[in-house]
Amino acid sequence: PTLQEALATASRATGVRLAEAAADLVVRLRAAGLVARDCKPPNLVAASTSPARLVLVDLDDLRRARAGRAAAGATKLSLIHI
């Protein structure tokens, strides 16, 4: 399901985990020097993993960040599901 669909039926705890997964995805993209300019719930698919992971499915607006704009302090770069 997309993040939008998952949130519509999710419990509060699951919604929090999905929101954390969305934030984690954005941080990992920024750490990799990328900006997802169209990162919204319909463009994120919830993967059936634990912990919750989201997959960015609309890559049309994925861009390299301008120099000096990468997330400060983002040191953990794990697998980016794109």
The residue behind tokens 């985990």 is 17
34 or 72, greater pLDDT:
34
pLDDT digits (tens, 9 = 90+) for 1-53: 888 898 899 899 988 988 888 898 889 888 888 888 888 888 888 877 767 77
Centre a 10 Å sphere on the Cβ of residue 73 and count the other Cβ atoms it contains.
7
Least confident of 40-44, 52-56, 66-70: 66-70
Rg of the chain, C-alpha, whole Å: 13
81 or 4, greater pLDDT:
4
**pTM of the shown model:** 0.67
